[in-house]
């Protein structure tokens, strides 16, 4: 983005088409030359059902609200979607072992 201190605001919408649940997040992005930005994180009802469809929309309305980067553009490259399919949530304890005789 051009101009130091400017902020672009993105509206990220995730919709599960079958459950009709809609999740919206607003993400503020300041100047990033190269790097990764997480645009959405959270549980989505219906994402755990096989064959359900998720629709992800990323929008920007320049120079409205908190978006003051009216002459800058936001370029998205390599958008990735990841899921967490673990049955149990938590951190791994594989670095510590114990046994009894």
> What does the pLDDT look like over 19-28, one tens digit per residue?
999 999 999 9
What pLDDT score was predicted for residue 71? 80
Count of domains forming the chain: 1
Q: What is the residue range of 55's domain?
A: 8-60
- Would you say residue 74 lies in a domain? no
Count of beta carbons in the 10 Å neighbourhood of residue 99: 4
Distance CA 12, CA 59 (A): 7
Tens-place pLDDT, residues 27-61: 998 877 677 888 999 889 988 888 999 999 999 99
Query: Are 25 and 12 within 8 A, CB to CB?
Result: yes
- Would you say residue 28 lies in a domain? yes
Give 10's pLDDT tier (boundaries 50, 70, 90): very high
Is residue 95's pLDDT more than 60? no
Extract the tokens encoding 66.
Answer: 């908190």
pTM for the predicted model, two decimal places: 0.73
Q: Across the strands, what pairs with 56?
A: 14
């Amino acid at each position: 983005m051009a101009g130091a201190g400017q902020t672009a605001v993105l509206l990220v919408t995730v919709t599960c088409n079958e459950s009709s649940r809609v999740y919206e997040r607003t993400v503020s992005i300041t100047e990033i030359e190269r790097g990764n930005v997480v645009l959405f994180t959270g549980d989505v009802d219906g994402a755990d059902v096989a064959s359900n469809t998720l629709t992800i929309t990323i929008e920007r309305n320049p120079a409205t609200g908190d978006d003051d980067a009216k002459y800058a553009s936001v370029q998205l490259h390599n958008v990735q979607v990841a899921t967490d399919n673990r049955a149990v949530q938590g951190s791994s304890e594989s670095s510590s072992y114990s046994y009894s005789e």
